[in-house]
Amino acid sequence: MSQSPPLPTRFMRYVWLVYLGALFFQPVFDSSSDGLDWLAVAMLIALFLPIYAATFRARDDRQTLVLIASIAALSLAGSLVNSGASVFAIYAAAIAGRLHPTRRAVAVVAALVGVVAVMVLISPVPMPWRLAGPTPALFFTAVVGATSIFDAERDRASRRLLRADEEIERLATIAERERIARDLHDLLGHTLSVIVLKSELAARLVRPDPDRAAAEIDDIQQIGREALGEVRAAVAGYRARGLGAEIDGARVALEAAGVDVEVHADPTDLRPEQESALAMALREAVTNVVRHADAQRATVSITTVGAVVRLEVSDDGRGSSGLAGSGLTGMRERIAALGGHVEVGGPKGPGDPHGTLVEVTVPLAGTAVDGSQAEEGGG
């Protein structure tokens, strides 16, 4: 399976074609140019565009290499009549950055630099056009190729990290399901067996010994109530561990993304639905840090302030855009339904471009927090 990074958007592919303007410099500014020079420009562009378009449909690195070689050959041949044809080598270097492994991409870019160097030596185009075209292309072919390789490696690393996070979450889900299954088996297996046996016994005793049958039925009711209480206690325990597990997951995700994280979490007294909403808010905030913030440091804090529990997730990344995505909108709706609120801005205020602070406040269990109290707790 190919490990090539995502291709540029269709819009950007067209934008990059603006650099074909280099082909027009010589015919426009060289007073000795004639109609043949303009015909050469048209033919070079007509030959280049289909190859360029094909690079975005290539199914593997072998096809991409063939297309890069075609562009390099066109660049070399075109330099015999137009110094701007060296721009094709820069396009080829940008495409070469998508090759995998990295050493292959580096080798191809180095070969393209060599092709441009050959253009400088063999091009019959008169001065100063021979130097004005291929010579700058030597620099830009190397720089664009190196930049493309770096971007491709960064994209691959991001996708590996995303796959690793998904695998960790999948394995954690499986482990949690297995733990719950074991707990329920241990909790209810014996109890249900006793209920079945006592039910069968009561059924046999209904006619010969009604009093004993009634006693067995009373035992069944008592055992059933105790089992129900144990199940409720177990479920409450699972829910109580939800926020703690999410904090551990946040630490793992941030550290895996190369973000230094500091966590401070006070014990909370939240209802299960409140704790679940706070855990989901923490997950959404951390996901935004990992995917969008490009941060070096992050802080996760859960504290009790007055009548509310406050969650704060801050980072030193590129700052909030101020646009509420679907994740943030959903977070606001869930928290608002519980009487809390969400604020997003910079650590020094809503307009601070340096870093992002997500602040979520939720009322403590058993308290009624009106708007003014919530605002006080959040401020």
Q: What is the structure's pLDDT at 374?
A: 38
Which among 70-74, 315-319, 333-337 has the top mean pLDDT? 70-74
DSSP tag of 356: E
The answer on pLDDT for 195 being more than 90 is no
pLDDT tens digits, 119-143: 888 776 666 655 566 778 888 899 9
226 CA to centre of own chain: 46
Q: What is the structure's pLDDT at 376?
A: 40
The average pLDDT across 247-264 equals: 82
Please give the full DSSP string across 116-135, using - where no structure is assigned: HHHHHHH--PPTTHHHHTHH
Q: What angle do CA 82, 92, 160 make, to 5 degrees?
A: 165
Q: Give the lowest-confidence range in 163-167, 200-204, 243-247, 323-327.
A: 323-327
Q: Give the lowest-confidence range in 13-17, 239-243, 279-283, 295-299.
A: 239-243
What average pLDDT does the structure give for the chain?
A: 81
Q: How many residues can be counted in the chain?
A: 379
Max distance between CA atoms of the chain, in angstroms, equals: 123
Q: Give the lowest-confidence range in 8-12, 32-36, 162-166.
A: 8-12
Q: What is the structure's pLDDT at 109?
A: 93
Q: Give the lowest-confidence range in 4-13, 79-88, 212-221.
A: 4-13
Judge whether 331 and 281 are in contact, CB under 8 Å. Answer: yes
- Nearest partner of 278 among 218, 364, 197, 193, judged by Cα: 364
